[in-house]
Structure 1
Amino acid sequence: MSALAPVLTPEGFALLNSLPAYDESRVLQLGEALRRDGHSAETVAAVMTQSRLRAKAHEKFGEFADQMLFTPDGLEQATRLPIAAHHAQRFRDAGIDSVADLGCGIGGDTLAKAGLGLEVIGVEKDEETAAVATANLRLFPTARIELGDLTAFDPARVQGLWFDPARRAGRARLHDPEQALPPLSTILDFARRTPATAAKLAPAIDHAHLPTGSETQWISWRGQVLEAVLHLGPLAREGVARSALLFTGADGSQVHRLDPDSVGPSPDSPHAADDPDLSADGVRDHLYEPDGAVIRAGLIGTLARRLDADLIDESIAYLTADARVDSPFAQGYAVEDVFDFSMKALQAHLRSHRIGTVEFKKRGTAVEPEELRRRLKPARFGDESATVILTRVAGKQSVIIAQPHRDVP
């Protein structure tokens, strides 16, 4: 019997739903009470595991998690519900009424599509995972889960396709889309038959893999780049090859989209600017660190024009400008000092300005912040705080001392 089997029965599921909110400090006590009530050790272990996973899943699914089932891997790989809802809305906006979620896992994206009223078929080859997805979709009459190999699915059954390929080998992440399951070539073959196709890709994907006429959108959640989504056919906006979508705020409820100012070829490197004339101009009064989704999408030039900014170095994705501009697409800093990197100079600056609380940031340098912190021991210098940015400026290893804009009047 699998570890999940007890909660896939009506009795086990009811027991799970009767448990109080998960409390790590009371796990042993609650487990003992359940066993005294006559529940088997396997059932107790299963419901307690699910209770813990539900608590963890609140971060991705909110209150929906309290009625769902999970596998550890399925939860880790699942799309956050607000992002999944955005994916579903793209299909609705394109006039798509029915979608197949091929490789649906525990059904997170399937749930979001069904929640917007789409007819959804989730296909999953692992029997236990398919059972979990079926349980998670039980309240949505327009959704169903089928057990089977996605490559055998007939795309003529639906108007649109959604893929979330497996992008790991063990714990290692796979960046080559042809190593994923299914590979990008298989997805594109499906898209030839069903043009309204979208697929999650690794955010570090090389732009050279992206097909002509598609739109790829890099998505970050509160500053962390989570995925790149390839949109094909009617799901792709005309003239937009790449874009960035940011979910910001304490709960990710604020959504911001950055599109290119002009249409052009995708840059060869995700760190390249989308404007070949963007100059490197040293460091001015303000420094801007673009969100990773903006960098991955190659939209540094677009952001620079909005900030009236330039690069600090032709190979470094930091921007600098004379004026402060608040933007959801970049963290801004007020620059206090800039000097060539040396331990002696950095130590002297921290001591003279009584800086004891330091946030280290690095880009384009081999210096390791934690090793630097260990050697400097900044806490002994005083009570002031600052951000120390280790990077290159006009080709030189440099230190930028700055204050985050949120701390500047």
Structure 2
Amino acid sequence: MDVASLTKLLSPEGWALLNALPPYDESRAMALATRLRSEGVDPDLAAAALTQSRLRAKAAAKLGPFAEGMLFTPHGLEQATRLVVAAVHARRYLSAGVGKVADLTCGLGADALAFAGVGLDVLAVDVDEATAALATVNLRAFPEAEVRHTDGLTLDLVAEGVDGLYADPARRTRGGKRVFDPAAYAPPLDAVWALRDQVPALGIKVGPGIPHQGLPADAETQWVSVDGDVVEAGLWFGPLAPEGPGRSALLLQTQDDGHQAASSRVLHGRPGDDQVPDVGPVGSYLYEPDGAVIRAGLVAPAAAELGGRLVDRTIAYVTTDSPAPAPPSGTAPLATGYRVLDVMPFGLKKLKAYLRERDVGRVTIKKRGTAVTPEQLRAQLSLRGDAEATLVLTRVAGRQHVLVVDPLPR
């Protein structure tokens, strides 16, 4: 959003128009735009208001009811932290005894909102003028938060009284392409890492695809999943990493509204603690570890906790001979479980006959460690029937197999 559009939206007329719009409905957006023009609403203002209405509707999945009073850009919303995760970030700083957090790349202010919401003083800065202006609007209800248009790396942290730092470097180009090289983040990751010499309580949000190689040895690197979807990784230094350096996985299961955690679980690994999991035949049950567990490289401790073994040394599927213990109340499960019904070497002709004999007309296909494309396989199976089946395509002891499974209740 450019400054001119923002100025129009923030006028009394613009703000009233935006907040008077009906809930966003894609099928009615064109008709609504036509009506606004016929009523004499400035075309640029109408377009800006409708765009914000659409973005607010989309943002509700991340930010819940807060989205109704906020302003967004498509790129800013893409990078914004989910409310349920931002709340976890805020608790880290609170538990570490931090009093004032500088959010060096505040974007639209989602994390700064969570910091202020738990009572922390917040200095939120962004190098982009329009983004800083949007953050000012979004944080207007929090007197604890000050927003500035400046480069966060130029702050005099001592003079500002900052004892905690947070950064979420941009990981996309201006054209929207993802950036995977941490040196190409904006600002570069190395420049942010260096700030821990001034303020040890430093947290950095990074993409979940960040490679293990080159991670700072003095950080806790934590991968986070929400309802099974891996959403981010974070680097936490000093007092923000009370368990010490290493890799961890945070699993969050949300309540029905999707914005508060109903259960959670943290699995930790220690530097040099490279467990070698057992490998063995497929048992009566199959477990697929949460994606954050896999990204963190913690399949071995997960397998040990599930009481199982891997079906192949290179594949993140765990098998057991009896059901894994249910997690305690309030604890998110480490894995999704399945009862194993059949196991067979992969062969198209044999699989087609197997499904035809069982009147299977619909299949869910999961895969790991195989080049088979589920969509292509589904077409080749020529399914007809009323029954359903779940197929897992994977390697077992180095050979391609099909496991026919039945999902266990969550």
TM-score normalised to structure 2 length? 0.92
Mapped partners of 2:189, 2:302: distance in 1: 30
- Percent identity over the alignment is 50
CA offset at residue 116 of structure 1? 1.0
Paired residues of 2:103 and 2:122 also in contact (CA < 8 A)? yes
Match of 1:270 in 2: none
CA offset at residue 25 of structure 1? 2.9
- Any idea what the Cα deviations from partners look like across 1:55-87, whole Å, max 9, x if unmatched? 111101111111110011111110111111110
Is residue 209 of structure 2 the alignment partner of residue 204 of structure 1?
Answer: yes
Is residue 402 of structure 2 the alignment partner of residue 399 of structure 1?
Answer: yes
Q: Which runs of 5+ in 1 are unaligned?
A: 267-273
Match of 1:18 in 2: 20
Change (3 A) 1:239 1:110: closer
CA offset at residue 240 of structure 1? 5.2
Match of 1:265 in 2: 272
Match of 1:164 in 2: 168
Match of 1:377 in 2: 382
Residue 264 of structure 2, aligned match among 242, 252, 256 = 256
Match of 1:186 in 2: 191
Paired residues of 2:252 and 2:265 also in contact (CA < 8 A)? no
Which segment is superposed worse, 57-66 or 181-190? Answer: 181-190
Paired residues of 1:245 and 1:255 also in contact (CA < 8 A)? no
Mapped partners of 1:197, 1:154: distance in 2: 15
TM-score normalised to structure 1 length? 0.93
Q: Where does 1:91-106 land on structure 2 (aligned, <5 Å)?
A: 91-106=93-108
Mapped partners of 2:287, 2:271: distance in 1: 24
Paired residues of 1:355 and 1:384 also in contact (CA < 8 A)? yes
Mapped partners of 2:278, 2:84: distance in 1: 37
Paired residues of 2:365 and 2:390 also in contact (CA < 8 A)? yes
Paired residues of 1:174 and 1:202 also in contact (CA < 8 A)? no
CA offset at residue 394 of structure 1? 0.2
Mapped partners of 1:341, 1:356: distance in 2: 19
Paired residue total: 396
- The one-letter amino acid of 1:117's match is G
Q: Matched residue of 1:345: which SS?
A: helix
Mapped partners of 1:372, 1:86: distance in 2: 41
- The one-letter amino acid of 1:312's match is V
Match of 2:123 in 1: 121
CA offset at residue 102 of structure 1? 0.7
Paired residues of 1:334 and 1:404 also in contact (CA < 8 A)? yes
CA offset at residue 279 of structure 1? 1.6
CA RMSD of aligned residues (A): 1.7
Is residue 300 of structure 2 the alignment partner of residue 301 of structure 1?
Answer: yes
- The one-letter amino acid of 1:166's match is A
Mapped partners of 2:214, 2:189: distance in 1: 9
Which segment is superposed worse, 199-208 or 21-30? Answer: 21-30
Which segment is superposed worse, 180-189 or 82-91? Answer: 180-189
Mapped partners of 1:388, 1:124: distance in 2: 48
Is residue 282 of structure 2 the alignment partner of residue 279 of structure 1?
Answer: no
Residue 231 of structure 1, aligned match among 231, 236, 242 = 236
Residue 352 of structure 1, aligned match among 357, 360, 369 = 357
- Any idea what the Cα deviations from partners look like across 1:201-225, whole Å, max 9, x if unmatched? 1212222322223211110111111
CA offset at residue 98 of structure 1? 0.5
